[in-house]
Chains A and B, each alone.
Chain A
Amino acid sequence: MTVTLYNNSSAYNVLHKNFGQAIASVTATVKGSCSVDNPTLLINYQTAASFNYFYVSDWGRYYKVTNRMLVPGEHMMISGVSDPIASFAGSIAGLDVYAVRCEDLTARSPELADPAVPVESDMQLDKVTGDSVIGTGSGYIVLGVV
Chain B
Amino acid sequence: MSITTDSYYDVIYNEEVVDRIGLSKTLDNYTNEEIASMTFCGTEFSLIKNISQREQGVTLLGWDLAKPFDVADGEHIGNGGKYILSPGISPYQYPNGMPFNVVWIAFEYGIAPPIHLNIHEGNASHCKIITEFDAPKYEYQLTAPMEVGGIGAASWNVDDAPLYTTPLYNHDGHDNTLVYRINDNVTTGSLAPNGGAVVPYMFTVVNDYFVLLLLCPYNNQWYSRGNGTGAPWIPDGAVTGGGGYINYDWETSFGASCNVATLAKLSFNGEAISFPYTWYYSENYNGNDWGAPLDCFGYNDLGEPIEVYFNGAPEDGWGSQRAVTLKTFCKNRDQIYKLIAGGGIKFKTDKVYKPIITDGWVTGYTDDMNTPSELDDWHGSTIHTVAPSPPSPPVPPTGDEDNNDPVSTTGAPFSSGLCHYYALTAGSVLLEHISDALGTWDIENTHKDLYKNLVSCKLIKPPAAIPTTGSAPFTIYGVKPQYEGADITLPVVTGNPDASFGPYTIDRKFGDFRDYAPYTRVSIFLPYCGWCDLPSHVVGRQVSVKYFTDIIAATCKAVVFCNNNIIAEAAGVIGLDIPFVADNVGAKMQAVTAGMIAALGGGIQLGAGIGTMVSTKSGNGAKAALSGASQYLSGYSQMAMAFNENTIEISGKNGDGCCLSGATNIIIKIVRPKKGAYTDAPYVPPGYGHNVGFVSQKQVKVSSVSGLLIADNVDTSGISGATEAERAEIKRVLETGLIVNAAPE
Which A residues form the contact surface with B (CB < 8 A)? 10-16, 18, 37, 60, 82, 84-85, 87-114, 116-146
Contacts and interface: CB of A to CB of B under 8 A. Distances in A.
Contacts, number: 347
A103 to B, nearest CB: 3
B701 A98 contact: no
Contacts of B736: 13
Interface stretch (B337-345, B379-387, B425-433): B425-433
Given A103-B708, A140-B426, 19 more contacts: A10-B739, A11-B739, A15-B738, A15-B741, A16-B742, A37-B723, A85-B729, A95-B716, A97-B715, A99-B697, A100-B696, A102-B693, A103-B709, A106-B705, A111-B513, A120-B676, A133-B501, A140-B459, A142-B423
A85 to B, nearest CB: 6
Contacts of B647: 141
A107 to B, nearest CB: 5
Nearest to B456: A144
A22 B722 CA distance: 24
A84 B722 contact: yes
A141 B722 contact: no
Contacts of B419: 144-146
Contact of B455 (A131, A141, A144): A144
A81 to B, nearest CB: 10
B712 to A, nearest CB: 5
B700 A99 contact: yes
B426 A110 contact: no
B738 A143 contact: no
Given A16-B743, A140-B426, A99 B711 contact: yes
B677 to A, nearest CB: 9
Contacts of B727: 84
Contacts of B425: 137-141
Interface in B712-736: 712-716, 718-723, 725-727, 729-730, 733-734, 736
23 contacts: A13-B737, A14-B739, A14-B741, A18-B744, A84-B729, A92-B730, A95-B714, A97-B711, A99-B700, A100-B695, A104-B705, A107-B700, A125-B671, A127-B670, A128-B506, A130-B668, A131-B666, A133-B528, A139-B426, A139-B459, A139-B575, A140-B575, A146-B418
Nearest to B478: A146
B699 A98 contact: yes
B716 A145 contact: no
Nearest to B730: A84
Interface in B443-466: 453-463, 466
B710 A88 contact: no
A104 B512 contact: no
Nearest to B509: A126
Contact of B423 (A89, A118, A120, A140): A140
A18 B744 CA distance: 8
B698 interface: yes
Contact of B684 (A37, A60, A117, A125): A117
Interface in B479-509: 490, 493, 499, 501-502, 504-507, 509
A113 B699 contact: no
Contacts of A94: 701-703, 718
A91 B707 CA distance: 17
Contacts of A136: 664
A122 B673 CA distance: 6
B468 to A, nearest CB: 10
Interface of B: 418-428, 431, 434, 453-463, 466, 475-477, 490, 493, 499, 501-502, 504-507, 509, 511-514, 516, 519, 526-528, 545, 547, 551-552, 554, 575, 578, 647, 659, 664-676, 682, 684-685, 688-690, 692-716, 718-723, 725-727, 729-730, 733-734, 736-744
Contact of A15 (B422, B702, B711): B702
Contacts of B696: 99-102, 107-109
Contact of B695 (A89, A104, A114): A114
B511 A93 contact: no
A130 B545 contact: yes
A92 B726 CA distance: 12
Contacts of A96: 699-702
A16 B741 contact: yes
A84 B731 CA distance: 10
Nearest to B518: A113
A129 to B, nearest CB: 6
A51 B722 CA distance: 25
Nearest to A117: B684
B674 A122 contact: yes
A94 B715 CA distance: 12
A-B CB proximity, top 10 nearest: A103-B707, A101-B693, A130-B666, A110-B512, A84-B726, A104-B705, A144-B456, A97-B711, A139-B461, A93-B703
B694 A146 contact: no
Nearest to B665: A132
A146 B552 CA distance: 13
Contacts of B516: 111
A144 B712 CA distance: 71
Contacts of A105: 682, 689, 694
Nearest to B688: A117
A15 to B, nearest CB: 5
Contacts of A118: 676, 684-685
Contact of B463 (A128, A134, A142): A134
A134 B526 CA distance: 10
A93 B592 CA distance: 102
Nearest to B689: A103
A128 B504 contact: yes
B513 A99 contact: no
Nearest to B736: A13
A141 B426 contact: yes
Contacts of A99: 696-700, 705, 709-712
A106 B671 CA distance: 29
Contacts of A102: 693-694, 696, 698, 700, 705, 707-710
